Amino acid sequence: MGNQTALINVLDENGIPTGEVKTKREIHEQGLWHNAAHVWIYNSKGQILMQLRAKDKDSYPGLWDISVSGHTDSGETPIQSAVREMKEEIGLNPEFGKLEPDGTYIISQPILGTNMQDNEIGHVFFYRYKGDADELSMPDGEVENLEFVPIDIFEKEVNDPEISKKYVPYQPPGEYYNWVIKRVREKLIVKDSQHF
């Protein structure tokens, strides 16, 4: 999720850089549009890797979140920030060409428990990982735990009004997570059919 003092390009509501750069805190305090990378990591067992955000995070501390995510620093492309965040957050250096871009997801919502606003263009990537969660590390201290969750359980939890409170509440409720679940299922069908 990156360095608080790193500079980030400010975007307009259409995703075009305005020429301004601000820190992450300024971006959120002023509710400015910006780019971020969202990496969803899944495996052939039909599980999605979730990260538990550290308790000292300024937004959504102690909640389960996207496998890896972070803001795109000024001078970076979204895929460069995705690779950087994978190394920083979970100690994983993705195989070249295996990070699959899959469009964008727009987040525009207040950050609960703060007076900040997140207006983010999330560039979504998927990565099929062959190892186990315990083979990953958490070098930068921003992640407290990593866990592979079976897709069916994840789907049930994010659509349950009570259990879903343990996940970062992207709005509208369940929409982003359900889209990710659908995409991972499609990718598993395509990949598995290629083995025959």
CB of 20 within 8 A of CB of 12? no
Domain contains 69: yes
What distance in Å separates the CA atoms of residue 82 and residue 39, rounded to the nearest whole number? 7
Whether the model pTM is above 0.85: yes
DSSP structure string for 94-154: PPTT--EEEEEEEEEEE-TTSS-EEEEEEEEEEEE--S-GGG---TTSSEEEEEEEEHHHH
Which domain range does residue 147 map to? 7-193
Domain contains 12: yes
53 forms bridges with which residues in the sheet? 143
- Closest C-alpha among 67, 70, 79 to residue 177: 67
Give the pLDDT confidence of 93-134 residue by residue, as tens digits. Answer: 998 889 999 999 999 999 998 999 999 999 999 999 999 999
Domain contains 2: no
Domain contains 52: yes
Give the pLDDT confidence of 25-76 residue by residue, as tens digits. Answer: 999 999 999 999 999 999 999 999 999 999 999 899 999 999 999 999 999 9
Domain contains 62: yes
**Predicted confidence band of residue 140 (pLDDT cuts 50, 70, 90):** confident
Q: How many residues does the chain have?
A: 196
pLDDT at 135: 93
What's the average model confidence in pLDDT over 82-94?
A: 95
Count up the domains in the chain and report the number. 1
Query: Which residue would you say has higher pLDDT here, 193 or 68?
Result: 68
Can you say whether residue 117 is alpha, beta or left, with left for phi > 0 and alpha for psi between -120 and 50 degrees? beta
Output the domain CATH number for residue 163: 3.90.79.10
Domain contains 26: yes
What's the average model confidence in pLDDT over 134-162?
A: 95
User: Phi, psi (5° rounding) for residue 86?
Assistant: -60, -40
Domain contains 1: no
Please say whether the dihedral angle defined by the alpha carbons of residues 30, 59, 181 and 79, taken in this order, is positive or negative: positive
